[in-house]
Structure 1
């Protein structure tokens, strides 16, 4: 039996469609072309020409790669093909010298996926709820919204202090958080994202637009007192209703909350709290050390 792993292109859609993944409504066929071009890669493990496992990665800020799109043919479970493929994809992601960190984000109850990630050397960083609401009024107090920040240097000062210098996990997109670094915060992103700070300049907020299944105002606030800060939710609400008017479709506020933050929400809070996601990852130095020990790289 011949076994190969190779990069996929748009013509490999038929191989994917022939897999028995058990996923009834999968988004991948609709964006297969996109997942094989630009900053996205897909790879397949083939047995005698039949694809039995698929995975890939996407690059963010030129320095980070996120593994994902792991799909396996149920008829070939139990042979370690998913682990073999994911290890290969991780090593491919690290081949460009520019990639400093590779990770994966998986639902907390997806234990098989977590076992695969741990086998290839990734370790958990943080568990986050993608908390959703369409009703910001619960936390509003009638206070004035916060002051917008337009100066790029001031924006960078905030993210450097709370993310780049500490390595704290930053929610770069919905479903895609990364450990902070200077490289993560490119000028183009900082210019596009809306920044605000309170009157005493002791707190800041970032709001940014994202779209996955729905439209989202992604609100980033690196403190635990989200229900207590006057003006915070007036600021979020103003941006949310402005976005809602533009989309005229299902639109939510998304905030990434740790398990501890979710547990401290007051009774009657407005958030939906779907199953949390666990961020796994490994940096280049650790990966290279493990790869050298295994004789995988020179």
Structure 2
């Protein structure tokens, strides 16, 4: 009975097809070729020659690695294969030059996945609802939309003060929030993202396009007063209507909301609010320290055995 782990390539797709995952529709099968190239990796854990667990990671801005795509063959549950695989993959990610943080994002109700992430040393950061709608007009106050900000220096000031400096969580893409660092805010991104500022110049909004099967206008607002700021939703709606004219297929507004922010919405709010996603992660320095402590603990136990 042997276990092996190796990186997968496009020719390994039949191995995924042969797994009994219990998933009727699996997006990973549709995009498998993309998940084994570029900044994406997939690994398989094999037991007696059969792939029984699969997972991988995607690299963002050469600094972050997000674990995901965990699939398990239900016939082999309870053997710790998924834990062993993710632990191995996290080690592989931290060996890559430049990677300073590894994390994972899983739904709150996915208790098995949360237990695995805890076992491999990841800690929870925050829980975010993916608030999605096609019409947020009922949140409008009748105020004028906010003023567009075009100066790159002003955009840098916004993100540094409210995200980088406090190390806040920044939703870089739909489903992919990260602890903020300068690496997330490249000049080209800041130029392409739309920034807006309220009249009092004490609030700002970022909007940017994204696509995860459907098209989304990703609206990012780093305060909790989402129902109290006059002109905020007028600004979002204006951008959304313009964006919708440029896209084919279903197009939505997407905003990441904490539980407290979701609870502050009126009872007749227009958002679809599925179970929140919990962001887990660890910095490389913390991971290395945890490995050092574990190594010393094992060495101490071994020395006691020698003494006995």
TM-score by length of 2: 0.94
Which moved further from structure 2: 258-267 or 157-166?
A: 258-267
Partner of 2:224: 224
1:258 aligned onto 2:258: yes
Provide the aligned C-alpha RMSD in A. 1.2
SS at match of 1:5: strand
Alpha-carbon displacement from aligned partner over 1:171-216 (angstroms, at most 9, x marks no partner): 1111100111112211121111111111221100000101112111
User: CA–CA distance in 1 between the matches of 2:50 and 2:106?
Assistant: 26
Q: How far did 1:82 drift?
A: 0.2
Alpha-carbon displacement from aligned partner over 1:213-232 (angstroms, at most 9, x marks no partner): 21110000011111121111
Count residues in correspondence: 296
Is 2:226–2:261's contact at 8 Å kept on the other side of the alignment? Answer: no
SS at match of 2:246: helix
Partner of 2:3: 3
Q: How far did 1:269 drift?
A: 1.4
User: CA–CA distance in 2 between the matches of 1:188 and 1:120?
Assistant: 35
- Say which one has the larger Rg: 2
Deviation above 3 Å: which 4+ runs of structure 1?
none
User: CA–CA distance in 2 between the matches of 1:143 and 1:255?
Assistant: 20
Partner of 1:83: 83
SS at match of 2:202: coil
Partner of 1:17: 17
SS at match of 1:294: helix
Partner of 1:291: 291
Alpha-carbon displacement from aligned partner over 1:230-288 (angstroms, at most 9, x marks no partner): 11111111110111112242111111000011111123211111111000000011001
Is 1:145–1:232's contact at 8 Å kept on the other side of the alignment? Answer: yes
SS at match of 2:117: helix
Which moved further from structure 2: 264-273 or 31-40?
A: 264-273
Is 1:61–1:185's contact at 8 Å kept on the other side of the alignment? Answer: no
Please give the residue correspondences for 1:39-50 in structure 2 after superposition, counting only pairs within 5 Å.
Answer: 39-50=39-50
Partner of 2:302: none
TM-score by length of 1: 0.97
Please give the residue correspondences for 1:1-298 in structure 2 after superposition, counting only pairs within 5 Å.
Answer: 1-295=1-295
